Amino acid sequence: MPKQDYIMRMLEQLQGVLPYILDMVKSGNYQEAHAMIDQVFRELIGLGGDGLIRLTDEDILRELKADATVAWEDKAFFLATLLKEDADIYEEQEQEEKSVPRYNTAVLLLIHIALHDLDKTEDYINSVTEITTILEEYELDAKTYAMLMRYYEAIGDYAKVEDILYEWLDAEPEFVAPDGPNPAELGVAFYERLLQKSDVELAQGNLPREEVESALQELME
């Protein structure tokens, strides 16, 4: 069977895979559920879950785009969905060291898909919101904070961008990489872009002009 046909069949079977996994979890068969998910990962990208999360999101996307016979967005959404399911199981097992990296990789993949075609953002916004809510309990790396800011600005939720910015600013120093994106600099650029928007647009994004001007002044002091 040609590779593209095989991958398409895998994508079509996603709705069938998830119920099996959920049934295993309900029965407490966590290891079997992880094993099934790992098998799917290996068939699609040649790595199990632990290997997959050691890759950067750019590396994963590069691998998915190498075979253009199947849309990379479909494959990325498939991976993100299974990564989230795997993370949910590890979260239930109270294994944060395994769940958080999986949630993190999943949300980055979803953001890449959404930013690629903002007209289809509604297809992914619930998944991004669900994972972001879970990750609010944890301090994230600079890359993830920056990508979340970029995503929520793109969909016009300016108040959410501000929430993420200040969460990042309040993070421990080791979560602000000296050679990576700088939260204060990104914050200043964000507020300066907002000042170019109309009052109506700012109101729709739940961040009035007065708050934008005040926050910008605070960051520049």
pLDDT tens digits, residue range 56-113? 999 999 999 988 777 888 889 889 999 999 999 999 999 999 999 999 999 999 999 9
Domain boundary among 87, 113, 138: 138
Q: For residue 145, give the nearest of 175, 172, 125 by alpha carbon.
A: 175
Domain span holding position 85: 1-138
- Domain total in the chain: 2
Rounded Cα gap, residues 33 and 39, in angstroms: 10
pLDDT at 1: 42
Same structural domain, 15 and 96? yes
8 A C-beta contact, residue 133 and residue 125: no
**Claim to verify: residue 150 and residue 134 sit in the same structural domain:** no
pTM above 0.85, yes or no: yes
According to the model, what pLDDT value does residue 21 have?
83
> How many Å apart are CA 106 and CA 72, to the nearest integer?
14
> Of 138, 170, 191, which one is at a domain's C-terminal end?
138
Whether residues 159 and 221 share a domain: the answer is yes
Q: How far is CA 94 from CA 30, 57, 97, 107, in A?
A: 12, 25, 9, 20
